[in-house]
Amino acid sequence: MTRKSWVREKKKRTVKPQPFLTIVKKRGLLSCSGLPMKQGTNMLKLPKVAIQGDTGSYSEEAALSMLGREIEIHHCEHFREVFEMTAAGQTSCCVVPIENSLAGSIHKNYDLLLRYKLKIVREVNLHIQHNLVGVPGVVFEEVSTVVSHPVALDQCESFFEEFPRLIRKSAYDTSGSVRRVVEENHRDWAAIASRRAAKHYGGQVLMTDIQDNKENFTRFFLLSPSVDLPQGANKTSIAFSFKNTPG
């Protein structure tokens, strides 16, 4: 059964049913929720948003920038889980990265978008600033291993060329790397992640802006199973394929 919200029109004394995933304006930001709101108060129930990565990840920053802070974030380890939760109605919407100005398109998420047939509601270009984060009290000279998401490691190639002694170690998430370094007290390890992740997990920023290119941006999509187009929508995305035949 479709859940509905009720919006009172200004000129008429009637109420109008809206789809559950209506995109509504709230303090200048989009909110993917059809739940009722009391005037002058917060939402009775926060909209659920799925992302890949831990607290402090770049996906979380993108979600907050598009939806504001009045959301309930569900953290997933894999992108497939993000799409599955949203398609099944376990979350109202999801936020996923789709391409990076340095690394290019994230083909896996394009494939998942076609498979689960979610709708693109909005997008944001997030400025990515990588930092080297270690355990509090550690100095850079003590670090021998750097852990992070493979894309983040690749985006800091010049940093590793400058310090060839450092060993790279891949992880599923940038912010999760900080959590592991701090919680397990790896004093000879450091993670590449955002300042927000460092602050959340109590890590110490050893170096800032270590990415190769300062103009490092990632485009994120806000996706939902269905959508009412918001006023001012001015962009359309189309996916198509051709038969693999000669001629």
Active site amino acids: 218, 220
**Considering Cα of 90, then 37, then 73, then 239, what sign does the dihedral take?**
positive
**Considering Cα of 20, then 23, then 26, then 29, what sign does the dihedral take?**
positive
**What is the DSSP track for 67-130?**
H-S--EEEEESSHHHHHHHHHTTSSSEEEEEEEETTTEE-HHHHHHHHHHTPEEEEEEEEEP--
Contact 222, 67 (CB under 8 A): yes
Rg of the chain taking only CA atoms, in angstroms: 21
Estimate the crossing angle of helix 107-116 against helix 79-87, to 10 degrees: 20
Nearest to 125 by CA among 33, 239, 222, 192: 222
Which residue type, as a one-letter code, is found at position 100?
N
Q: What is the dihedral of CA 65, 68, 70, 76, to 10 degrees?
A: -20
Contact 121, 222 (CB under 8 A): yes
Cα–Cα distance between 147 and 102 in angstroms, integer?
A: 20
